Structure 1
């Protein structure tokens, strides 16, 4: 079992490989493939005369071939095919690097805008520290990079995380200017197609085995800020909890914009909240992941220029109804920020909405999908908290390696390998009681290692992409609190808006979804055009749309369904009308009880008062 060095003669020259006499021949072949970068089959001979060919085998060892320290082996392969493959791979790599500025897929508009931004923070000349002329630069006035740690630390308020584009600029700030930058997504699954051994659990090798994962706190975030356009959006969402006391989940629809308070930052602007079908209680929510209206909502939101940017859920318990206070459940040292189960759902949503990135080998990296929690703060007031889970958490959930614990919501658990699934080791670092940094196995795992927090707030000056008035159309899936969507509700809703405000009435996501899915109203095709008109705010086209046959049918149905007004009749004054005749009871209509003299109506065989028979 001694260590030996074998010399390998090839057309490229002589190379050396370290091995042991007890190593199998297959192990030697693997080392040679890596050493010479060979991607196809090759031949190995015991000497330069090719007198004996060494056959690839998992049973025979190097000692069985009589190989000793210093032996020279000859290796041959198809050089033309190897060169052709190398040229193709090199061409593809150069082509991809050249096309990084113009990726073959559609990135978000905000990413395209930030890619063109300079990103640096320019500083004026310091009269006290600068010793150069007005056109010169020194360390005291040179522009700061967007990833400058001192600048981020001294900002007001301090910036904890790099923006994603600042992180990309940092990767491309070296001498090579990011020529070899390629973002890799973590994989926790066995690589398929390995022919060296039976499939798991029959075997595994270093080629197909996923690497161990060491969890680190993510230094960047894909979204830096969540902004609701106006308070009415949140009030409309919280109205369900106020009326029922049950928790609620909703999807955030809006757009991504530049966030000027963070270098190269991105903010999610929320314009509407759609509530999918769900079963809610005071402590939990059961969400229907296959919502029948989901495709319709996505289509209409896209035509309005909106997209799904996140999800929101409530965790509220009333403390004092008269004071309007709520319990403080989260964010303390004895509680948690997000539970492990909520982290799993957030990671599932983020995996379903990947972030397109030109610097990623898989064309996507991370996600811009945000999580907003409505809960109570330390002052027992309703408070909003924003989070994202890290890319490492997304990979663990995507590959089925992460599960919640039963009794501790702040702890998750990385599954152990089984015959059905191989799970790599997952570690995280923490400090022990002596202050030493130790590495621990993620069984269990504090979910704080998986979270990235972000601010949630409202602007000083509200804006309204959609209707934000007091009179709004009922939200879908609220039958449990008596808020139904039907034609009577539609008619009553439209009656509240005069003709000059009909644009505001129609500019409602929930109304458009109802018009598109209502079988009674033939407006499914017309709503698509209406959504484009509302997006462009074209009043002329809206007038033409209202004159269409489909909408005129709605107006006709509203008119036919309207109740007939009852004329007011006045029996007093100069225009008095004669009183209607007073009908006196006829003796044939009633019969008097002989026992109690109560007058009963015809058809009664017993007295209604005393219960005795008629005769």
Structure 2
């Protein structure tokens, strides 16, 4: 008896009959013939839209052995001439060729392979089946299950839970539509309508859609974890010493956060403070600064990246979230997240904002947040601005140079009825915020373990960095040997990198020692020409 298999491709869905005993190569041949695929070897096949296996790797196995049954739906991808007309359309489960090779963060690749289901035990009250059975009361929940999220007070589902949710809806389409889409708030100046181009003319085809603000249901980062409390203590030491505010970049990595289904946490290992002019009620920054790429390279050598920013706001100066929100949006726009699931190849950002401020008890506390995707788009298009009231955001008026679409927001009135109002001229800033939790690990294992702190950069009059200071910090005056723990300091690494004495290979060896804490790496570094040159220069300084 022949087996009917449904094949979904860029060209839609076709049905192919095949003998269960046939080799998979027979199925491949029929697919290539029906869909007129010129390169049979380029076909990949899978029973899921998010994974694929080259069909040539399966040759030798029968349809039966591969578990393909009557009525199964299989997803295929294949290479074709990119100039052909068919390349302009994509099928369910097939990543567009321009997105297929996008390098995502390792955490995205990891989470895409997880089932993400929320496991539940057997309910003693309602489950009437045997111990190895399953029913509606104990079957696993999807990671975006609203009842579970509400019960566990998770205000925003994780990004990958959200991606699973919309991908499940997307599977119902006959053709692939990239599930993620960046908001488009620009006027189409190449409109085909019979009118003069904007600003002389505009129609419903070329004007951007109205914006309805609502709380974003997902968040790109669910938690910020500072690897050690000393990171915050060292950062606010400047404020304690001078009474002025301070800004720093957070360097770390992204890891799985198990407290939220398919969650992501930003693990902060270092705070770097760029050049800045500090004041009691604010600060002045010039970004990017000259050595920003140098610091990013140091972080990369340590397996880290820029994950966010932190600054103090320890005076009641009336600034507040309005300005912070626009600043955060601009920074998130500078640090987009690569994604295979958006036609642009990037979607939103995992760049987090942390603010050190006072809480209701008069203590110093840290708050962490991001701004929504629509907020970053509105800031990028210069549609909104901060107001004198820190809890309010203003919407700009349209001009001959800039078209501002209609903006609305919804809320429940005193009678519990949903009401929609125009956001012009202003609306509450809370519509743009995405709350992120933060904390410290129960058993800290920081990456950098130096027992004493190397002076922090760009703190004139408080701390200074020079070769003599480096020499004393390393303890070379007593032994001349490389102390494993002493070099494990991010600020030390950026200073050494800035001297330019070590070449790329020798600095990589120093960075490797700083994060591995291994004696063998210390011995290798001590024998390098660059390190010996650095020690000699320190001796002469």
Tell me the TM-score normalized by structure 1.
0.69
- Bigger drift between 144-153 and 489-498 goes to 489-498
Q: Of the candidates 512, 515, 521, which is equivalent to residue 496 of structure 2?
A: 515
Q: Of the candidates 313, 316, 338, which is equivalent to residue 356 of structure 1?
A: 338
- 1:266 alignment counterpart: 264
1: CA distance between counterparts of 2:147 and 2:244?
46
- 1:233 alignment counterpart: 231
2: CA distance between counterparts of 1:96 and 1:159?
30
Unaligned runs of 5+ in 1: 1-84, 318-328, 562-615
Q: Of the candidates 158, 162, 165, which is equivalent to residue 167 of structure 1?
A: 162
Given that 1:428 and 1:441 are in contact with CA atoms closer than 8 Å, whether structure 2 keeps it comes out as: yes
Structure 1, residues 19-61: CA drift from partner, whole Å, max 9, x if none?
A: xxxxxxxxxxxxxxxxxxxxxxxxxxxxxxxxxxxxxxxxxxx
- 1:416 alignment counterpart: 397
2: CA distance between counterparts of 1:237 and 1:498?
32
How far the C-alpha of 1:365 sits from its partner, in A, is 1.5
2: CA distance between counterparts of 1:258 and 1:560?
48
Give the 3 Å change call, closer, same or farther, for CA 220–252 of structure 1 in structure 2: same
2: CA distance between counterparts of 1:401 and 1:239?
38
- Bigger drift between 483-492 and 166-175 goes to 166-175
**1:529-608 counterparts in 2 under 5 A?**
529-561=509-541
How far the C-alpha of 1:227 sits from its partner, in A, is 0.3
How far the C-alpha of 1:523 sits from its partner, in A, is 5.3
Given that 2:450 and 2:487 are in contact with CA atoms closer than 8 Å, whether structure 1 keeps it comes out as: no
Partner-residue secondary structure (3-state), 2:420: strand
How far the C-alpha of 1:202 sits from its partner, in A, is 1.4
Q: Of the candidates 245, 248, 263, which is equivalent to residue 247 of structure 1?
A: 245
- 1:394 alignment counterpart: 376
How far the C-alpha of 1:185 sits from its partner, in A, is 0.9
Partner-residue secondary structure (3-state), 1:505: coil
Partner-residue secondary structure (3-state), 2:129: coil
- 1:445 alignment counterpart: 427
1: CA distance between counterparts of 2:482 and 2:364?
33
Structure 1, residues 346-392: CA drift from partner, whole Å, max 9, x if none?
A: 00111111122222121222111111111111111111111000001
Given that 2:383 and 2:396 are in contact with CA atoms closer than 8 Å, whether structure 1 keeps it comes out as: yes
Tell me the TM-score normalized by structure 2.
0.78
**1:314-329 counterparts in 2 under 5 A?**
314-317=312-315
Structure 1, residues 454-512: CA drift from partner, whole Å, max 9, x if none?
A: 1111111111201353x211111111x33111222222222389667722222222112
- 2:136 alignment counterpart: 139
2: CA distance between counterparts of 1:391 and 1:212?
15
Partner-residue secondary structure (3-state), 1:252: strand
- 1:188 alignment counterpart: 185
- 1:482 alignment counterpart: 462
1:207 aligns with 2:205: yes
1: CA distance between counterparts of 2:164 and 2:92?
18
Given that 2:183 and 2:374 are in contact with CA atoms closer than 8 Å, whether structure 1 keeps it comes out as: yes
Structure 1, residues 67-112: CA drift from partner, whole Å, max 9, x if none?
A: xxxxxxxxxxxxxxxxxx9994544433684237983200111111
- 2:27 alignment counterpart: none
Give the 3 Å change call, closer, same or farther, for CA 211–375 of structure 1 in structure 2: same
2: CA distance between counterparts of 1:175 and 1:164?
16
Unaligned runs of 5+ in 2: 1-80
2: CA distance between counterparts of 1:187 and 1:373?
30
- 2:279 alignment counterpart: 281
Given that 1:253 and 1:273 are in contact with CA atoms closer than 8 Å, whether structure 2 keeps it comes out as: yes
2: CA distance between counterparts of 1:170 and 1:312?
32
Give the 3 Å change call, closer, same or farther, for CA 303–374 of structure 1 in structure 2: same
- 1:99 alignment counterpart: 95
1: CA distance between counterparts of 2:321 and 2:200?
36
2: CA distance between counterparts of 1:143 and 1:557?
63
How far the C-alpha of 1:230 sits from its partner, in A, is 0.6
- 1:295 alignment counterpart: 293
Q: Larger Cα Rg: Structure 1 or Structure 2?
A: 1
Partner-residue secondary structure (3-state), 2:408: strand
Partner-residue secondary structure (3-state), 1:427: strand
- 2:12 alignment counterpart: none
Partner-residue secondary structure (3-state), 1:527: helix
Structure 1, residues 238-278: CA drift from partner, whole Å, max 9, x if none?
A: 11111111011110000000001111000000000001111
2: CA distance between counterparts of 1:433 and 1:121?
37
How far the C-alpha of 1:203 sits from its partner, in A, is 1.6
Give the 3 Å change call, closer, same or farther, for CA 173–478 of structure 1 in structure 2: same
Given that 1:516 and 1:524 are in contact with CA atoms closer than 8 Å, whether structure 2 keeps it comes out as: no
- 2:474 alignment counterpart: 494
**1:53-64 counterparts in 2 under 5 A?**
none
How far the C-alpha of 1:188 sits from its partner, in A, is 1.4
How far the C-alpha of 1:284 sits from its partner, in A, is 0.6
How far the C-alpha of 1:200 sits from its partner, in A, is 2.7
Give the 3 Å change call, closer, same or farther, for CA 96–518 of structure 1 in structure 2: farther
**1:444-463 counterparts in 2 under 5 A?**
444-463=426-445
Give the 3 Å change call, closer, same or farther, for CA 86–192 of structure 1 in structure 2: farther
- 2:171 alignment counterpart: 176
1: CA distance between counterparts of 2:122 and 2:502?
67
Partner-residue secondary structure (3-state), 2:309: strand
2: CA distance between counterparts of 1:509 and 1:192?
48
2: CA distance between counterparts of 1:363 and 1:96?
17
- 2:351 alignment counterpart: 369
Q: CA RMSD in A?
A: 2.7
Question: What is the aligned length?
Answer: 456
Partner-residue secondary structure (3-state), 2:236: helix
2: CA distance between counterparts of 1:339 and 1:126?
45
